[in-house]
């Protein structure tokens, strides 16, 4: 079973993410939108949307560093395990607070305001639930780990990170995940679920960075 | 000189009776669906008044249109970098309550109610939240100056520093029908992060591509006329299309076609595309109107025709331009003026300012008052149409008054006044076009812009629209 979760599912997730997103772009471009709800409830969006996206970017950056930079590299340049953890937590805790705080406020807004119903599809409900579990397991696991409740021997840089790199290297080593606490297993699993759902949700808007705006002329003329 | 053709509209406000027929027919054709039910691509406002959405003219608040900054023309909404930061939360985007919350009534209670002491009542219900609601505002809440306090908030009144008198003897009002101006320098096009909005080369119609629109919503605050709307159902921008499927078949827009007062004129203008930027950034906003006139070229000038042919403008369009009633009204007699030229978008829907009711001067025993003594303050009209230049308004009103004088003299057999600007024949022509022109004289649009036959178009019926295929909406 662990072979499926940690050897096959990651590839299913990546494949769905890439194929699904391209499929949606080519077939249903007209539905490709942020589905902005500022029009329906403006005031309650102002602060939470910034908290959420800022926290998201910080958390994403933290994941990239924590997973892709091998422990041997930081050890090599003389950063002790203790120092690394202080640095990671000093970035991770504020990111988690912003990310989860923003998410909580946005969730309150989405499911508390009757107007927002018209902007909330079933898929939105599903992705909110998935993201909620993903964030809570990630943030919760980090805090439990920081206060030492997950045991001294657990270090995600010695199990999750090398496992993820082994997946990226197309040579998955599921045994690396065997000693990982359940809360982090759950977190990784939910992250893969998010990737699988991504193409079919509003999350696709993050791929639409409007950089062409910087290159084009202000007024566009187009033939019929 | 780089000539482009523009389909253009003129509205003769003297004849607008404020019946809202244009708004209703437009709504029935374009916006009677979920997500768009609050939208009026065309609406009629009573002026003075704050309009729809509330206070749309106040650019200190909405930051719509363009401004000149150190000699450069820039969007008032901010630099490209600043606009990227507004992708998440746009501080100047209007929300639903700035327009109004659309509603229906619980009509069913009228027939399902059991026998009671009192009559059953159909209570209002929101079309957004589906909950009972209290109606606090609507699309034409201050129609005919209803709610005098709202009329007092009109930014144009504040600018001319006039406290509106609501005593019956001095009160004034007029109607202002508004649809998208299909500007020569559209701010919505420039503000779109995705490049979804464009100006059609063939006829200058400004359209939103529903495929490219990502719902970033920057066009909505950027348009100073607030004529781009956000569909809460498809999460995309929508706007007046100038009824382009009709234009392509030589038919006018629905609002023009159904206008009860026959106030609308449509035709082709030829303009010099190379001059657009300079006209939009003229240092003195009072000069923008004159600059716009300079852009519009004489369709009978052989040089212009030659340049137009070089740009691939068809003979049908050139022929329509030669007999264009809007050219005559805008440039021939200088009667039509752009709405708020100071927004610098160079709007292509023009307005002939109204003569006021002359009751105020009835005791003077004159047939018509002087143009500066009209009931609607000239300064107020100037705020609307000439960025505050009262001389232009006075000139237009005087020409309209002179036309009336000439026609009166003709009717009663008197000799026309001596000090006229034009000769009598010109006033008769003006009268014919303004007062009694038939449909075919008010509307001169070329047929054949479309490449499809009528049969092909009929096949498209019911399959084109703003639905969201794919099921991801």
Spell out the domain ranges in chain B.
261-442
Please tell me the distance from the alpha carbon of residue B3 to that of residue B262, in angstroms, as a whole number: 30
Query: Pick from B93, B130, B233: which is nearest to A38 by CB?
Result: B93
Smallest Cβ–Cβ distance between A36 and the set B198, B200, B235 belongs to: B235
Do you know the residue count of chain B?
473
Chain A residues within 8 angstroms (CB to CB) of chain B = 24, 27-42, 45-46, 49-50, 53, 114-115, 117-119, 121, 123, 200, 205, 208, 210, 212-214, 216, 218-224
Q: Are A187 and A127 in contact (CB under 8 A)?
A: no
Question: Which residues of chain A make contact with B90, given a CB cutoff of 8 A?
Answer: 38
Question: Considering CB atoms only, which of A45, A114, A119 is closest to B232?
Answer: A119
Contacts of B216 in chain A (CB under 8 A): 34, 36, 210
pLDDT at position B171 is 77
Q: What is the mean pLDDT of each run of 10 residues along chain B (473 residues)?
A: 96 96 96 94 94 95 95 94 92 96 95 91 95 94 84 83 59 92 97 94 93 92 97 94 90 96 97 96 95 97 96 92 97 97 97 79 62 83 95 94 92 90 95 95 81 60 56 47
Angle of helix B424-431 relative to helix B390-412, nearest 10 degrees, comes to: 100
Q: What is the pLDDT of residue B469?
A: 46
Give kind and range of the element (H or E) at residue B43: strand B43-47
In this complex, the residue of A53, A213, A221 whose CB is nearest that of residue B198 is: A221
Peptide bond into B80 cis (omega under 30): no
- Taking an 8 Å cut-off on Cβ atoms, the answer to whether A40 and B95 are in contact is yes
Question: How near does any CA of chain A get to the CA of B127, in Å?
Answer: 10
Contact of B464 with chain A, judged by CB distance below 8 Å, is answered with: no
Angle at B346 between CA B342 and CA B349, to 5 degrees: 110
| Beta carbons of A223 and B202 less than 8 Å apart | yes
> Phi/psi at B278 (nearest 5 deg)?
-65, -40
* Contact yes or no for B327/B318 (Cβ under 8 A): no
Mean pLDDT of chain A: 92
Chain A residues lying within 8 Å of B234, measured CB to CB:
30, 33
Distance CA B182, CA B207 (A): 9
pLDDT at position A223 is 86
**Shortest distance, CA B447 to any CA of chain A (angstroms):** 15
* ipTM of this complex: 0.89
Mean pLDDT calculated for residue range A64-86: 89
B312 touches chain A (CB under 8 A): no
Asked if B466 has any chain A CB less than 8 Å from its own CB, the reply is no
pTM of the model: 0.91
Q: What integer pLDDT is reported at residue A33 of this predicted model?
A: 82
How many whole angstroms separate alpha carbon A38 and alpha carbon B90? 8
Distance from C-alpha of B427 to C-alpha of B404, rounded to nearest angstrom? 9
What's the Cα-to-Cα distance from A195 to each of A21, A198, B360, B417, rounded to whole Å? 10, 5, 73, 82
Q: Which of A45, A114, A210 sits opposite B194 (nearest CB)?
A: A210
Number of A/B CB contacts below 8 angstroms equals 138
Contact of B193 with chain A, judged by CB distance below 8 Å, is answered with yes
Structural class in CATH, domain B261-442: alpha beta
Q: What is the Cα–Cα distance from B118 to B124, expressed in whole angstroms?
A: 18
Tell me what the mean pLDDT of segment A50-64 comes to: 95
B80/A213 CB distance under 8 A: yes
Domains and CATH numbers, chain A: 2-27+41-214 (1.20.950.20)
Strand partners of residue B352:
B12
Nearest CA in chain A to B185: A219
CB A80 within 8 A of CB A157: no
Closest Cβ opposite residue A28 in set B185, B193, B469? B469
Segment 219-248 of chain B within 8 Å of chain A by CB = 230, 232-236
Q: In this complex, do B217 and A36 lie within 8 Å of one another by their Cβ atoms? A: yes
Q: Which of B73, B214, B344 to mutate to test the interface with A (most CBs of A within 10 A)?
A: B214
CA B204 – CA A52 distance, rounded (Å): 41
Percent of chain A with pLDDT over 90: 71
Tell me, what's the pLDDT at B367? 66
| Pairing of the two strands B349-352 and B66-69 | unpaired
Which site among A20, A28, A30, A208 would you substitute to test the B interface, given the most B Cβ atoms closer than 10 Å to its Cβ? A30
Answer whether B463 touches A (CB < 8 Å).
Answer: no
Give which of B342, B326, B324 is closest to B334, Cα–Cα. Answer: B326
For the beta carbon of residue B465, count every other beta carbon within 10 angstroms: 9
Q: Which of A214, A220, A221 sits opposite B80 (nearest CB)?
A: A214
Instruction: Give the H/E segment covering residue B291.
Output: helix B288-295
**What pLDDT is recorded for position B457?**
60
Closest to A138 in 3D by CA, of A194, A87, A179:
A194
Sign, Cα dihedral of B432, B438, B439, B444: negative
In chain B, which residues have their Cβ closer than 8 Å to the Cβ of A205?
A: 214-215
Contact flag A30-B468 (C-beta cutoff 8 Å)? yes
Residue in B197, B234, B235 nearest the CB of A34: B235
């Amino acid at each position: 079973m662990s072979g499926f979760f940690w050897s096959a599912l990651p590839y299913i997730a990546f494949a769905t993410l890439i194929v699904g997103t391209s499929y949606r772009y080519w077939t249903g471009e007209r539905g490709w939108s942020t589905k902005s709800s500022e029009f329906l409830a403006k005031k309650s969006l102002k602060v939470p949307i910034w908290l959420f996206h800022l926290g998201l970017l910080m958390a994403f950056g933290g994941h990239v560093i924590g997973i892709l930079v091998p422990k041997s590299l930081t050890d090599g340049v003389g950063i002790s395990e203790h120092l690394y953890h202080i640095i990671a937590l000093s970035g991770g805790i504020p990111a988690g607070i912003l990310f989860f705080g923003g998410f909580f406020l946005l969730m309150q807004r989405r499911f508390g305001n009757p107007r927002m119903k018209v902007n909330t599809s079933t898929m939105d409900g599903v992705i909110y639930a998935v993201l909620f579990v993903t964030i809570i397991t990630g943030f919760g696991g980090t805090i439990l780990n920081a206060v030492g409740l997950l045991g001294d021997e657990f270090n995600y840089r010695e199990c999750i990170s090398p496992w993820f790199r082994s997946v990226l290297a197309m040579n998955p080593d599921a045994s690396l995940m065997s000693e990982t606490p359940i809360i982090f297993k759950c977190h990784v699993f939910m992250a893969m679920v998010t990737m699988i759902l991504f193409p079919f949700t509003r999350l696709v808007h993050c791929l639409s960075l409007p950089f062409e705006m910087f290159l084009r002329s202000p007024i566009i003329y187009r033939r019929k | 000189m780089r000539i482009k053709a523009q389909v253009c509209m003129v509205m003769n406000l003297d004849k607008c009776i404020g019946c809202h027929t244009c708004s209703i027919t437009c709504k029935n054709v374009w916006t009677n669906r979920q997500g768009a039910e609050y939208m009026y691509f065309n609406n009629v406002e009573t002026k003075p008044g704050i309009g729809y959405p509330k206070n749309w003219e106040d650019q200190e608040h909405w930051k719509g249109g363009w401004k000149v900054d150190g000699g450069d023309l820039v969007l008032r909404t901010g630099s490209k970098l600043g606009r990227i930061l507004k992708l998440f939360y746009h501080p100047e985007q209007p929300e639903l309550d700035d327009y109004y919350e659309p509603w229906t009534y619980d009509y069913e209670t009228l027939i399902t109610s059991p026998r009671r002491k009192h009559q059953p009542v159909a209570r209002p219900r929101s079309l957004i939240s589906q909950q009972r609601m209290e109606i606090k505002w609507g699309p034409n809440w201050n129609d005919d100056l209803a709610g005098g306090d709202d009329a007092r908030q009109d930014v144009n009144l504040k600018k001319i520093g006039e406290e509106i008198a609501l005593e019956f003897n001095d009160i004034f009002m007029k109607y202002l029908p508004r649809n998208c101006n299909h500007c020569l320098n559209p701010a919505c096009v420039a503000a779109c992060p995705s490049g979804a909005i464009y100006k059609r080369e063939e006829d200058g119609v400004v359209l939103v591509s529903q495929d490219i629109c990502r719902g970033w919503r920057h066009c909505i605050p950027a348009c100073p006329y607030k004529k781009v709307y956000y569909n809460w159902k498809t999460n995309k921008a929508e706007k007046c299309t100038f009824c382009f499927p009709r234009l392509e078949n030589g038919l006018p827009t629905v609002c023009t076609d159904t206008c009860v007062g026959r106030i609308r004129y449509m035709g082709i203008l030829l303009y010099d595309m190379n001059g657009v930027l300079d006209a939009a950034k003229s240092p003195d906003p009072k000069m923008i109107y004159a600059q716009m006139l300079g852009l519009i070229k004489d369709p009978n000038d052989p040089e212009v025709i030659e340049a137009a042919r070089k740009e691939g403008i068809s003979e049908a369009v050139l022929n329509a331009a030669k007999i264009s009633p809007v050219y005559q009204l805008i440039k021939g007699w200088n009667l039509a003026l752009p709405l708020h030229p100071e927004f610098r978008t160079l709007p292509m829907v023009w307005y002939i300012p109204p003569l006021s009711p002359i009751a105020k001067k009835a005791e003077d025993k004159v047939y018509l008052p002087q143009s500066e003594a009209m009931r609607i303050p000239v300064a107020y009209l100037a705020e609307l149409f000439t960025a505050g230049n009262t001389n232009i308004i006075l000139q237009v009103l005087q020409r309209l008054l002179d036309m009336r004088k000439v026609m009166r003299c003709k009717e009663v057999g008197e000799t026309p006044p001596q000090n006229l600007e034009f000769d009598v024949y010109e006033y008769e022509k003006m009268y014919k076009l303004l007062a009694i022109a038939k449909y075919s004289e008010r509307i001169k649009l070329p047929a054949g812009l479309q490449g499809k036959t009528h049969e092909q178009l009929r096949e498209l019926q019911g399959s084109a629209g703003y639905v969201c295929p794919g099921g991801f909406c």
